[in-house]
C-alpha cells in the first residue's frame, strides 16, 4: 500500500512543486522530511505547479514504508514541516494508484484584486492586482465561451509534454468576493495544459480591457496559430482540489 496525502502550500517562496537541483520545492521539502522520519521512498504529485502557484488540495503519494500509525502521520509531519506547507488528509491507497493518471478532474481558481487601494498585508501574496479598468460583463461572457470541449493549443505555453491538447472544461465562471474587491475565476476540467489557466486568464483580461472577445474566439478557431494573450502572474493561481473515482482506493 502507498500513503496518499492531501497537502496545502503557499507557493510564494517555492520554485514550484517538482524537485529541482539546488532549489527549494514542495516535493523536495516533503520527500526530504519523509525520508528522515520514515526511511527511503519517493513523493509523487498529481500536479506540477509552477513557482509561485499555491495549492489547497494537492494530492501526493508516498511510496516508502510507514512504521507509524496512519492517523499520526499528519500530526508528525505538520510539527516538522515549514509553515508554508500543511498536510490535512492521509489515507492508504493501493500501489496501483497513480495520482496523475487516475485524476478525473482538477479545479483551480485565479484571484484578481480590483480595488483602488493596495491589498492588505498577507492578502497580496494570493492576488494579482488589476492595473486597468476591466469589464465584468466581458469577463463573465468569456468564461461561458471557455466552457465545453475545445482544443486549447493556443492557450498552452511551450514546454508541455501533453500528447493531446483537447480538454473538457465543465466549470468556468467569475465570482465577486469581499464586496467586489476580489474577482475570482473558477475553472474545472478533465485536465490542463502547461500555463493553460494563466494564459486563459491573461486572454480574458485583455478582452475585458478592450471590451472585445475576438482574441478568445481566435484562439479556439485557430488553435494551431500564435499563442493567445499573456501568462498571468503565478501568485493569483491556486490549485483547489483534484477528484478521483472511489474505485482508486479499492
pLDDT, tens only, 120-158: 888 899 999 998 899 999 999 999 999 999 999 999 998
Distances (CA, A) of 129 to 94, 165, 170, 206, 213: 43, 30, 27, 14, 22
Are residue 232 and residue 117 in the same domain, yes or no? yes
What local confidence, expressed as pLDDT, does residue 117 receive?
80
Residue of 131 and 248 predicted with greater confidence? 131
Question: Using one digit for the tens of pLDDT, what is the confidence trace for 161-184?
Answer: 778 999 999 999 999 998 889 999
134, 76: one domain: no
Contact present, 115 and 159 (Cβ < 8 Å): no
Angstrom distance (rounded) from CA 250 to CA 248: 6
Q: How many domains does the chain divide into?
A: 2
Q: Of the residues 76, 98, 120, which one is the last residue of a structural domain?
A: 98
Q: CA 10, CA 83: separation in Å to the nearest integer?
A: 9
* Judgement on whether residues 39 and 71 belong to the same structural domain of the protein: yes
Please confirm, yes or no, whether 102 is among the known catalytic residues: no
Shared-domain flag, residues 72 and 136:
no
Other C-beta atoms closer than 10 Å to the C-beta of 165 total 17
Residues 133 and 184 in one domain: yes
Mean of pLDDT values over 193-210 = 97
Which one, of 230, 228, 211, lies nearest residue 139 by Cα? 211
pLDDT at 213 over 70: yes
Which residues constitute the domain of residue 123?
A: 103-242
Residue where a domain stops, chosen among 56, 82, 98:
98
Q: Find the catalytic residue in 10, 13, 50, 102.
A: 50
Residue 247 lies in a domain: no
In the numeric block, which cell numbers belong to residue 190?
Answer: 478533465
Residue 90 and residue 127 in one domain: no
Tens of pLDDT, residue by residue over 28-65, are 999 999 999 999 999 999 999 999 999 999 999 999 99
Residues 70 and 144 in one domain: no
Which of 98, 126, 161 corresponds to the end of one domain?
98
Entry pTM: 0.95
Q: Both 157 and 94 in a single domain?
A: no
Amino acid at each position: 500500500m502507498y500513503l496518499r496525502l492531501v497537502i496545502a502550500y503557499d507557493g510564494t517562496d517555492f520554485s514550484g512543486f517538482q524537485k529541482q537541483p539546488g532549489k527549494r520545492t514542495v516535493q523536495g521539502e516533503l520527500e526530504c522530511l519523509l525520508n528522515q522520519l520514515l526511511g527511503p521512498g519517493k513523493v509523487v504529485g498529481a500536479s506540477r505547479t509552477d513557482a509561485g502557484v499555491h495549492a489547497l488540495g494537492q494530492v501526493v503519494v508516498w511510496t516508502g514504508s510507514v512504521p507509524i500509525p496512519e492517523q499520526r502521520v499528519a500530526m508528525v509531519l505538520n510539527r516538522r514541516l515549514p509553515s508554508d506547507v500543511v498536510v490535512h488528509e492521509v489515507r492508504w491507497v493501493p500501489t496501483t494508484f497513480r495520482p496523475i493518471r487516475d485524476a478525473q478532474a482538477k479545479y483551480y481558481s485565479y484571484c484578481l484584486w480590483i480595488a483602488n487601494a493596495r491589498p492588505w498585508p498577507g492578502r497580496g501574496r494570493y492576488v494579482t492586482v488589476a492595473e486597468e479598468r476591466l469589464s465584468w460583463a466581458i469577463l463573465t461572457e468569456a468564461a461561458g465561451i471557455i466552457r465545453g470541449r475545445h482544443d486549447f493549443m493556443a492557450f498552452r505555453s511551450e514546454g508541455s509534454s501533453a500528447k493531446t491538447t483537447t480538454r473538457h472544461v465543465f466549470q468556468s465562471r467569475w465570482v465577486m468576493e469581499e464586496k467586489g474587491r476580489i474577482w475570482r475565476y473558477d475553472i474545472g476540467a478533465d485536465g490542463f495544459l502547461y500555463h493553460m489557466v494563466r494564459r486563459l486568464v491573461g486572454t480574458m483580461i485583455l478582452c475585458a480591457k478592450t471590451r472585445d472577445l475576438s482574441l478568445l474566439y481566435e484562439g479556439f478557431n485557430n488553435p494551431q496559430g500564435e499563442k493567445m494573450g499573456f501568462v498571468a502572474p503565478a501568485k493569483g493561481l491556486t490549485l483547489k482540489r483534484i477528484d478521483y473515482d472511489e474505485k482508486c482506493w479499492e
